[in-house]
Amino acid sequence: MRILNPIFCFTTLVFFGFTTQKSLAQNGNLQIEQPQKVTQLLQLKKQLKKDDKRYRIQIYNGNQEGAQKALSNAKNEFEITAELTFEYPNYKVRLGKFRTRLEADKHLIEVRGKYPGAFILALQQ
């Protein structure tokens, strides 16, 4: 059995490598054609996204100490997100980020058991 010369093997591999790469290369342009309705639907979706409302439940409005207490109580009692915000001159504690008013109303019933003055806010995103 004969052993091949390493230089011959290397030269052969390089030659086949270049010829294979050149023969498998693809040249051309990609052109995407889509119906006009798809473009209209995308524009409509963008418009709806701008009009997207989120509903939140506000449980507290007042000073910082009371807000911190309400926030920690809400986090312990409810399984929805609670957030503390400051809007001059008061601190506010708000719960959840609901997509629909119906979903917010369902949670409001539960929240009003502990916070009778809770109400729903519709916020723009």
What CATH number has the domain bearing residue 104? 3.30.70.1070
The angle subtended at Cα 95 by Cα 46 and Cα 63, nearest 5°, is: 120
The answer to the question of residue 39 being in a domain is: no
Domain count, the chain: 1
Q: Which amino acid is at 64?
A: Q
Q: Is 8 exposed, middle or buried (0-12, 13-18, 19+ CB in 10 A)?
A: exposed
The answer to the question of residue 21 being in a domain is: no
Residue 8 pLDDT greater than 60, yes or no: yes
pLDDT reported for residue 72: 95
Summarised one tens digit per residue, pLDDT across range 21-60 is 555 556 778 888 888 888 888 888 877 766 667 899 999 9
The answer to the question of residue 58 being in a domain is: yes
**3-state SS class at 79:** coil
The answer to the question of residue 35 being in a domain is: no
pLDDT reported for residue 35: 87
Q: Which residue range forms the structural domain that includes residue 92?
A: 52-124
The model's pTM: 0.59
The answer to the question of residue 29 being in a domain is: no
pLDDT reported for residue 3: 64
The answer to the question of residue 59 being in a domain is: yes
